[in-house]
């Protein structure tokens, strides 16, 4: 499906599955209310977002060759879930903008979320970001949990690669946040816990040397996990059920 109209698809209630091509001069697909989108083809919003769900819902980018791209953001979603197995790209701003409670799952090692500024930006509700692939911010952090619309307790689970520019890979807000580090996790840049009571947990299977973090009050090493620390731990409580090398 291909359109040169201002928006390719605008609706009040829709469920849509795309296996071909959808293109709009503003958004590729825009739903005014909660919707469900499954894409295994290509969705492009030339000047705005690839996909916009103005009242939440679910976006599934299915398969390693699937692509959602936007001139500004890749996916804008007002709460709900984004599941990506392919590529989601926002050229100017965010790969995924989640404003409201929900989750972003970057599933599989081939999955990529990239933003011209930030890879994933979450605000306005409790958010969980799970990464098995790559999340990258071209001119900012890979993942940001923003306090612009309130303070929430957020979670990041990383067993993939998160790349930030300007020195920060992940920026948490002022909530009581949790960073879970699994096997294969890497960060380019620091992880900033922000305010609140924040925790890093090395989960079973992790064998990590990551020590570039600040603003965390607790570190837990689960049974079956190994952490080799090269940083100075100040005012941090460490719970070790695995292996700690310092």
pLDDT tens, position by position, 5-55: 334 555 556 789 999 999 999 999 999 888 999 999 999 999 999 999 999
DSSP letters of 163-221? EEEEEEEEE--SS--EEEE-TT-EEEEEEE--SS--EEEE-TT-EE----EES--EEEE
Instruction: Report pTM.
Output: 0.94
Q: Bridge-partner residues for 36, per DSSP? A: 15, 58
CB atoms within 10 A of CB 91: 20
Cα separation, 107 vs 122, in Å, equals: 18
Q: Does residue 1 have a pLDDT over 50? A: no
Q: Bridge-partner residues for 188, per DSSP? A: 163
For residue range 36-46, list pLDDT tens digits in order: 999 999 999 99
Q: What are phi and psi of 27, to 5 degrees?
A: -90, 150
Cα separation, 200 vs 170, in Å, equals: 13
pLDDT band at 111 (very low <50, low <70, confident <90, very high): very high
Q: CA dist 157 to 71, 86, 104, 208, Å?
A: 28, 19, 10, 14
For residue range 76-105, list pLDDT tens digits in order: 999 999 999 999 999 999 999 999 999 999
């Amino acid at each position: 499906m291909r359109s040169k109209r201002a928006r390719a698809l605008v609706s009040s209630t829709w469920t849509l599955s795309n296996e071909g091509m959808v293109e709009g001069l503003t958004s590729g697909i825009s739903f005014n209310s909660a919707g469900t989108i499954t894409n295994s083809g290509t969705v492009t919003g030339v000047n705005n977002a690839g996909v916009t769900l103005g009242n939440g819902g679910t976006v599934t980018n299915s398969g390693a060759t699937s692509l959602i791209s936007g001139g500004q953001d890749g996916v804008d979603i007002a709460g709900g879930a984004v599941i990506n197995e392919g590529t989601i790209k926002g050229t100017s701003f965010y790969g995924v903008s989640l404003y409201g409670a929900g989750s972003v799952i970057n599933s599989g090692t081939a999955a990529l979320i990239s933003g011209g500024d930030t890879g994933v930006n979450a605000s306005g509700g409790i958010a969980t970001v799970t990464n098995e692939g790559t999340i990258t911010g071209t001119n900012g952090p890979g993942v940001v949990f923003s306090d612009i619309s309130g303070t929430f307790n957020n979670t990041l689970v990383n067993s993939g690669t998160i790349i930030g520019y300007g020195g920060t890979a992940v920026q948490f807000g002022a909530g009581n946040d949790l960073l879970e580090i699994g096997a294969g996790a890497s960060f380019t840049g620091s992880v900033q816990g922000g305010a609140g009571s924040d925790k890093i947990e090395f989960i079973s299977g992790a064998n990590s040397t990551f020590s570039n973090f600040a603003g965390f009050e607790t570190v837990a090493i689960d049974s079956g996990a190994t952490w080799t620390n090269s940083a100075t731990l100040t005012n941090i409580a460490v719970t070790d059920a695995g292996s700690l090398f310092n």
